[in-house]
Structure formats: structure tokens, C-alpha cells
Structure 1
């Protein structure tokens, strides 16, 4: 799950919102939110602007 979210962010040329990530991954937004929280804690992703995320 977390790997899939990170993979989508790495393949995107621009920052994505959680809803967009969920749509691309075909998973529930709540699961994406959990993955984002975890990835932020591990400092693998960043938030260049509010509610948008990108891989570091």
C-alpha cells in the first residue's frame, strides 16, 4: 500500500492530492491518508503546498 502510493508520487511530474493518488492507485482515500502520514514521518515525501504531496 505505502509502496504503491510512493510509486505513484515518484512517477508523477507534479504534486498530487490524496484523492488523486487514491484514484490512480484504485484504493480508498483513507488508506492513502494513512500511507501519506507514514511516508511523511519517514521523510520520503514532502508537501510543496497544502494538501499536495510529492516524492523527495
Structure 2
């Protein structure tokens, strides 16, 4: 599973918006990798940012 898929999976299972630091802890990967994955997922329209620095899957 790639970092992008892992980040998306963590966000879907969380059930609430998360900060990138929280995603990194839950996924067990570096925050820099999470930030890269978030950028890709946002571009693909798979995640949204309901408030500043928080991310959630797009419904």
C-alpha cells in the first residue's frame, strides 16, 4: 500500500477531520510523507479541508 492510499485509509477510518501530525502518528509514517500524500489527494478531489490544517475524506 502506498503512502497516499494509507493516508486516505486512515482519514476514512478516523470518522473525523485530522491534522497531518495525527495522520502521521496513526499511519506510522513521516509527517513529510503525509504532507505529500495530502497534496496529491486534494488535487484528485478525494479529500477536503473542512477547517484550516484539518483534512477529511470528500463525501
Gaps of 5+ in 2: none
Equivalenced residue count is 56
Q: CA deviation at 1:5?
A: 0.2
Encode CA deviations 1:27-56: one digit per residue, 9 max, x unaligned.
Answer: 000000000000000000000000000011
Q: Show structure 1 runs of 4+ deviating over 2 A.
A: none
Q: TM-score normalized by structure 1?
A: 0.98
> Aligned Cα RMSD in Å?
0.4
TM-score calculated relative to the size of structure 2? 0.93
